[in-house]
Amino acid sequence: MREWQSWIRKLGSQSVHNGTSSTSRRIQAVGSTRSGERHPGFSEAMISLRGITKAYKTDAGPFWALKGIDLQIYRGEFVAVVGKSGSGKSTLINMFTGIDHPTEGEVIVAQRHIRELSEGQMAEWRGRQMGIVFQFFQLLPTLTIAENVMLPMDLCEVYEPGERYDRAVHLLEQVGMADYAQKFPTAVSGGHQQRAAIARALANDPPIVVADEPTGNLDSKTADAVFGLFESLVAGGKTILMVTHDDELASLVPRSLTLADGLIVDEVVRLSAVAAPPLLRWVPDLVDPSYPAYAVP
Ligand code: ADP
Ligand code: MG
């Protein structure tokens, strides 16, 4: 056993409660993840949320959907967010995609303070930086599935007009939807719409993919295929944040966060044998290094 492996093993069942919040952070020593050989550097924060709160106006006064979120997601990470319905998962996604603004706090994505972007800049910036799979798909009903997938390409002009259709079909193939390219969203099932939404999210080959319950409407075989696609995207260097109700799916993701009542209440990092060395650089940021169990031998 290599030195770092024994160190990770020592971390095994420990959990850390940091002094400032009730977040419980655990490091789990697990075997190789399904993603296999993967060496994200984890040196560069891709998404930083600092002191994020969000209050919605309601007749009964403000409703605090997020109560203070501090979160760093590094380039090349695959992170799952779990939590009961109403815990604030979609609200959290809306914060760093710039779809909605926090009441307090700062959002930095790919080194940009997103509050500095005008609405117009935001749309193009988002289109290039992020592929978003919305919980309720948000496909345009008047466009075919292929046209829906081409839409982000038309908005951002990353790909030449002549290559957009072929790229759309290629992406639809990856989610098993090539046969549905010419159909309209209303003519296909929820699961098929979800797959089309995943293809659309990949349209501009964005470095960040954000998916809100991307497997919520899929049978387990298709869900596995989508998860495998996400793993291959992470292996190719993308940063993925996936909201899911599915604890089993979350347990396959290297890092998962649990939201409850607008706070991150639990965080689990599963160190695969392969991913461990680069993660070690990152762990001190995650746990309290003065905690005896975390002393590097
Ligand atoms: P999740 O995605 O975890 O199910 P959401 O982020 O959608 O949770 O919602 C978190 C909480 O904020 C819920 O209690 C929800 O009812 C409330 N909420 C969400 N959007 C609004 C809104 N626009 N106005 C008022 N309350 C909202
Ligand atoms: Mg939601």
**Digit-coded pLDDT (tens) for 88-144:** 999 999 999 999 999 999 999 999 999 999 988 998 899 899 999 998 889 999 999
How many residues are given for the chain?
297
Buried-state track 132-158, b at ≥16 Cβ within 10 A, e below 16: bbbbebebeeeebbbbbbbbbbeebee
- The predicted-structure confidence for 212-223, as pLDDT tens digits, reads as follows 999 988 888 888
Cβ within 8 Å of residue 86, ≥6 positions away: none
Kindly state if the Cβ of 91 falls inside 6 Å of ligand 1: yes
Task: Give, as residue ranges, everything with CB less than 5 Å from ion ligand 2.
Answer: 89-90
What are the tokens at 273? Answer: 């044998």
- The predicted-structure confidence for 272-291, as pLDDT tens digits, reads as follows 533 444 444 444 444 444 43
Kindly state if the Cβ of 94 falls inside 6 Å of ligand 1: no
Q: Which domains does the chain show, CATH number per domain?
A: 16-43+77-90+116-287 (3.40.50.300)
| Residue 18 pLDDT > 50 | no
CA of 261 relative to ligand 2 center, distance in Å? 13
What are the tokens at 288? Answer: 């309290």
Kindly state if the Cβ of 63 falls inside 6 Å of ligand 1: yes
Q: If you compute the radius of gyration of the chain from its CA atoms, what whole number of angstroms results?
A: 20
Q: Are 110 and 188 in contact (CB under 8 A)?
A: no
- The predicted-structure confidence for 73-85, as pLDDT tens digits, reads as follows 999 999 999 999 9
Kindly state if the Cβ of 62 falls inside 6 Å of ligand 1: no
CB-based burial label for 15 (10 Å; 0-12, 13-18, 19+): middle
CA of 288 relative to ligand 1 center, distance in Å? 32
Collapsing DSSP to helix, strand or coil, 102 comes out as coil
Which bound ligand lies closest to the C-alpha atom of 89?
A: 1
Average pLDDT of the chain?
A: 81
What are the tokens at 77? Answer: 């990470």
Kindly state if the Cβ of 58 falls inside 6 Å of ligand 1: yes
Report the share of the chain in percent with pLDDT over 70: 76
Distance CA 159, CA 146 (A): 15
CA of 110 relative to ligand 2 center, distance in Å? 24
| Residue 296 pLDDT > 50 | no
**Mean of pLDDT values over 136-160:** 94
**Mean of pLDDT values over 162-169:** 97
In this structure, which residue's CA is closest to atom 21 in ligand 1?
56
Structure-token match 């500095």, residue found: 116
Collapsing DSSP to helix, strand or coil, 265 comes out as strand
* 3-class SS string, 136-147: CCCCCCCCCHHH
CA of 259 relative to ligand 1 center, distance in Å? 13
- The predicted-structure confidence for 168-212, as pLDDT tens digits, reads as follows 999 999 999 999 999 999 999 999 999 999 999 999 999 999 999
Distance CA 216, CA 12 (A): 31
Distance CA 53, CA 104 (A): 5
Residue type at 188 in one-letter notation? V
Q: Are 190 and 216 in contact (CB under 8 A)?
A: no
What are the tokens at 289? Answer: 């290094």
CA of 85 relative to ligand 2 center, distance in Å? 7
For residue 135, what pLDDT is reported?
87
